[in-house]
């Protein structure tokens, strides 16, 4: 075993207290060995002037959509997807997705994210990129029924299942998989009735978009005379390891149903504001005991993958929507971005404690916009930027040291992604 001592910083504990302490991690088990006066390690990572916090968890993302950052803005979800995004996505190649994903991984790692959930295409490429970059991920091939005949839809479903079976546990267990029907409206009922039990047999969680816009909820209610999440429950889609994205337009019955079933919700405030989808009832979810995580969604509807931005957006939107400055406070958003995300994705991370996975972000607090530190949690929620991250550690490995990604060549990744984005858009025109 080789140990790494993260030394001289202040440590954010699971109860949100902050102490000046060291953290000792073991790079063989990938776990935190001790927190406090830990003695010397084989190697040292300097955290002087920094806050050592759990690595951030981006619980809903389409990583390769970095290629479409700024490609189509300022439209609502339905027309954005149908008029702009889906036509260009039809031209994506495996190599495009690899290039876009690597760009996303650089951005995620540099801003302190150590785990993410990704629903997209060419997921073998995504898994390879994650293996190379060193972070943790829950990955699923997205199943979309729109415009597909029976055979094409089944082939899509089979691809999702075979990816989930083949890659679960890949990259020394850092890659876990999931079954990812796109949404309750883009995969029809007969297909969900057939596909979901097969996914259950594969033993992987389900992740899908739900209750994102009013336009998506209304037809389900009109046609079925039940709420979308009651419909999902009838299809067996609210398991305790499942997690859904958005949950903006959930009513009180659906909030209680999620709490009863133990299904988590991933709140994506920036995407919801940009697409004008609405504001999720985050206080109601939390009061009911629903696990709430944070996600950026894709970079085309955000337009970055910085979870510090997302924490601030979650707090601001929550207060604005509730007309209550005490709604969605700093501790809530930090918890959502760390422990909440790890719990939603089923990772034993998100908290700094002996025995937990050594997934950590070391944030440099010696910056004008973080001075003074009356309250470190307040600074994290309201004032820190992704660019304040000094080191990122995942599974006990230092993936970013002094702001530099060690597992990917940032300049080459950026150049390759820009080239693929340009060619992709040219093909789609």
Ligand X SMILES: CSC[C@H]1O[C@@H](n2cnc3c(O)ncnc32)[C@H](O)[C@@H]1O
Q: Binding site for Zn(2+): which residues?
A: 60, 62, 209, 297
Closest CB to ligand X belongs to which residue? 142
89 binds Zn ion (CB under 5 A): no
Between 157 and 209, whose beta carbon lies closer to ligand X?
209
Partner whose binding site includes residue 118, from ligand X, Zn ion, none (CB under 5 to 8 Å by kind): none
Partner whose binding site includes residue 182, from ligand X, Zn ion, none (CB under 5 to 8 Å by kind): ligand X
Residue numbers belonging to the annotated binding site for substrate: 89, 182, 212, 297
Enumerate binding residues for ligand X (CB under 6 A): 62, 77, 81, 85, 89, 119-120, 142, 144, 182, 209, 212, 271, 297-298, 301
Q: Which of 96, 102, 297, 397 binds Zn ion (CB under 5 A)?
A: 297
Between 152 and 353, whose beta carbon lies closer to ligand X?
152
Partner whose binding site includes residue 144, from ligand X, Zn ion, none (CB under 5 to 8 Å by kind): ligand X
Closest approach of ligand X to the CB of residue 286, in Å: 22
Between 80 and 365, whose beta carbon lies closer to ligand X?
80
Q: How far is Cα 278 from Cα 195, in angstroms, rounded to an integer?
A: 30
Partner whose binding site includes residue 301, from Zn ion, ligand X, none (CB under 5 to 8 Å by kind): ligand X
Q: How far is Cα 361 from Cα 352, in angstroms, rounded to an integer?
A: 11
21 binds Zn ion (CB under 5 A): no
Q: How far is Cα 205 from Cα 243, in angstroms, rounded to an integer?
A: 8
Closest approach of ligand X to the CB of residue 271, in Å: 5
Closest approach of Zn ion to the CB of residue 61, in Å: 8
11 and 52 Cβ atoms separated by less than 8 Å: yes
Between 83 and 324, whose beta carbon lies closer to ligand X?
83
Closest approach of ligand X to the CB of residue 144, in Å: 5
* Number of residues located near Zn ion, criterion CB under 5 A: 1
Partner whose binding site includes residue 113, from Zn ion, ligand X, none (CB under 5 to 8 Å by kind): none
Query: Which class for 410: exposed (0-12), middle (13-18), buried (19 or more C-beta within 10 A)?
Result: middle
x/- track of binding to Zn ion for residues 243-282 (CB under 5 A): ----------------------------------------
Closest approach of Zn ion to the CB of residue 107, in Å: 17
Partner whose binding site includes residue 396, from ligand X, Zn ion, none (CB under 5 to 8 Å by kind): none
Cα radius of gyration rounded to whole Å, the chain: 21
Q: Which residues bind Zn ion (CB under 5 A)?
A: 297
């Amino acid at each position: 075993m080789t140990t790494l001592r993260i030394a001289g910083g202040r440590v954010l504990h699971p109860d949100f207290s902050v102490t000046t302490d060291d953290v000792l991690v073991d790079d063989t088990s990938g776990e935190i060995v001790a927190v406090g006066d830990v003695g010397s390690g084989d190697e040292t990572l300097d955290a002087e002037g920094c806050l050592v916090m759990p690595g951030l968890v981006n619980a809903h993302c389409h990583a390769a959509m970095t290629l479409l950052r700024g490609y189509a803005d300022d439209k609502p979800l339905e027309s954005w997807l149908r008029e702009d995004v889906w036509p260009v996505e039809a031209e994506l190649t495996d190599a495009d997705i690899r290039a876009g994903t690597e760009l996303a991984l650089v951005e995620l790692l540099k801003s302190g994210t150590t785990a993410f959930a990704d629903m997209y295409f060419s997921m073998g490429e995504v898994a390879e990129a994650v293996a190379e970059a060193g972070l943790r991920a829950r990955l699923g091939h997205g199943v979309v029924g729109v415009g597909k005949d029976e055979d094409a839809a089944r082939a899509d479903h089979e691809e999702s299942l075979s990816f989930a079976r083949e890659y679960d546990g890949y990259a020394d267990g850092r890659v876990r998989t999931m079954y990812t029907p796109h949404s309750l409206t883009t995969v029809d009922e007969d297909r969900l009735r057939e596909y979901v039990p097969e996914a259950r047999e594969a033993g992987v969680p389900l992740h899908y978009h739900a209750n994102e816009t009013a336009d998506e909820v209304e037809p389900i209610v009109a046609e079925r005379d039940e709420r979308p999440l009651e419909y999902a429950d009838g299809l067996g889609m609210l398991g305790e390891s499942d997690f859904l994205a958005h949950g903006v337009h959930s009513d009180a019955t659906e909030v209680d149903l999620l709490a009863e079933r133990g299904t988590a919700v991933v709140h994506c405030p920036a995407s919801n504001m940009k697409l004008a989808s609405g504001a999720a009832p985050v206080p109601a979810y939390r009061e009911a005991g629903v696990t709430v995580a944070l996600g950026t969604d894709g970079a085309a509807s955000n337009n970055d993958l910085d979870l510090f931005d997302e924490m601030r957006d979650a707090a601001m939107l929550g207060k604005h929507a509730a007309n209550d400055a005490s709604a969605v406070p700093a501790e809530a958003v930090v918890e959502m971005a760390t422990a909440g995300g790890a719990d939603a994705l089923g990772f034993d991370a998100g908290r700094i404690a002996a025995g937990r996975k050594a997934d950590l972000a070391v944030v440099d607090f010696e910056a004008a916009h973080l001075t003074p530190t009356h309250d470190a949690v307040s600074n994290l929620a309201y004032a820190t930027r992704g660019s304040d991250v000094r080191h990122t550690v995942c599974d006990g490995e230092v993936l970013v040291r002094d702001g530099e990604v060690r597992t990917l060549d940032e300049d080459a990744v950026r150049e390759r992604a820009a080239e693929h984005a340009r060619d992709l858009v040219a093909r789609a025109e």
